[in-house]
Amino acid sequence: MKKIVGLDLGGTFIKVGLVGKTGKILKKKQLPTLGKKGRGSVLSQMEKGIKFALNGEKDVMGIGIGTPGLVDRQGKVFSAPNLPDWDNLPLKKIFEDKFNLPVIVENDVNTITFGEYVYGAGKGYKNIICITLGTGLGGGIILNGKLFRGSNLSAAEIGHIPICYEGPKCNCGNSGCIERYVGAAYISRMARDAIKKGRKSKIKDLVKGDLSLITPKIISQAYKKGDWLAREIWEKVGLYLGTMFSGLINLLNPEIIIIGGGIAQAGKPLFEAVRKEIKKRAFPLLSREVKVVPAKLGIDSGIISAASLIKMH
Ligand SMILES: [Zn+2]
């Protein structure tokens, strides 16, 4: 059986594994990224991980790598936010020369999107919008069964779609970007601000009064206990996301929207609020058909999705 190496490069950890043809993990390992020690250390950690996956194996089809930053058609990486000197780096060539195997490099959220398309919630669909919702909001788009990559460097930076023309400043330099409303820190701040203004909420009890400890997870816990503030917050997040998705639905007419990442764990209240807002805003004929579902690949998503990249050709 043919096997593929999948490597998920994160700001803190490198996750690498060997994946069977059906998307099953055969072995895996996690190494520290060592980004602070510079580019050379990160590359040598990646090499170590790939060697572990290849050790004693035959019939390996290739190596798929998901990396932060923008990736061009030649597998060169530019401007990764958490890896400072990860710029103008010919990642594909480096590892093809080193291991003499085909290597495909893709932006990390594009990678997750392709993984969900090949093995996960998007299986069987040809037009897909996928986002990961956590610290930030990343996105990927499959159109007519192909990952949409724009004209050269990047596409689907969904987190930086503005939803308000005079909204708060975003890290990208723009203002009013959706990420600035639904990133984990901003969701937590919504709860904190309301409680500071005197709102009674179980969220406050759950963090024993220390408002700096509020996270989206805590807000979810409060929601399950019937907390009204928590309900309002998820409705707000659904309002923001649904507004943005409505534009994307009218633009692309997707069959399915997949939401992954830590905040998707909020589950029902978040998904219901998103669906409600889409119904209210998008063209009825389009919104009626579109499904909004959680990502499916789970904890090993990064590795499985990186491996799926080899199926792109
Ligand atoms: Zn932005």
Instruction: For residue 181, report the distance from its CA to the centre of ligand 1, in Å.
Output: 10
* Averaged pLDDT score across all residues of the chain: 95
Q: How many angstroms is it from 227 CA to the middle of ligand 1?
A: 31
Distance 225 CA to ligand 1 centre (A): 34
The tens digit of pLDDT for each residue in 3-27 reads 999 999 998 999 999 999 899 999 9
23-62 pLDDT, tens digit each: 999 999 999 999 999 999 999 999 999 999 999 999 999 9
* Alpha carbon of 308 to ligand 1 centroid (Å): 29
Find the 78 Cα to ligand 1 centroid distance in Å.
Answer: 17
CA of 198 to the centre of ligand 1 (A): 31
What is the distance in A from the centroid of ligand 1 to the CA of 174? 5
* pLDDT tens digits, 106-125: 999 999 999 999 999 999 99
CA of 224 to the centre of ligand 1 (A): 32
Give me ligand 1 centre to Cα 91, in Å.
26
Q: For residue 189, report the distance from its CA to the centre of ligand 1, in Å.
A: 18
Give the Cα-Cα-Cα angle 300, 301, 306 (nearest 5 degrees).
Answer: 105
Residues in the chain: 313
CA of 54 to the centre of ligand 1 (A): 39
What's the CA gap between 38 and 149, in Å, rounded?
28
Q: How far is the CA of 155 from the centre of ligand 1 (A)?
A: 14
For domain 3-117+299-312, give the CATH number: 3.30.420.40
Does residue 154 carry a pLDDT above 80?
no
- Give the rounded percent of residues in the chain with a pLDDT score beyond 90: 89
* Beta carbons of 77 and 87 less than 8 angstroms apart: yes
Residue 101 alpha carbon to ligand 1 centre in Å: 37
Write out the residues surrounding ion ligand 1, Cβ under 5 A: 160, 170, 172, 174, 177
Helices 216-224 and 184-196 sit at what angle, rounded to 10 degrees? 60
pLDDT at 79 over 90: no
Ligand 1 center to residue 34 CA distance, Å? 27
Q: What is the pLDDT of residue 313?
A: 60
Instruction: Give the residue among 208, 219, 210, 156 at the shortest CA–CA distance from 184.
Output: 219
Give the integer Cα–Cα distance in Å for 227 and 121: 31
Strand partners of residue 20: 3
* Separation of CA 171 and ligand 1 centre (Å): 6
Residue 81: the pLDDT is: 74
For residue 259, what are the β-bridge partners? Answer: 131, 294
The tens digit of pLDDT for each residue in 284-300 reads 999 999 999 999 999 99
pLDDT at 308 over 80: yes
What's the pLDDT at 142? Answer: 97
What stretch(es) of the chain map to CATH 3.30.420.40? 3-117+299-312, 124-182+230-295
pLDDT above 80: residue 82: no
Pick the CATH number of 124-182+230-295 from 3.40.1030.10, 3.40.50.1360, 3.30.420.40, 3.40.50.300: 3.30.420.40
Tens-place pLDDT, residues 216-252: 999 999 999 999 999 999 999 999 999 999 999 999 9
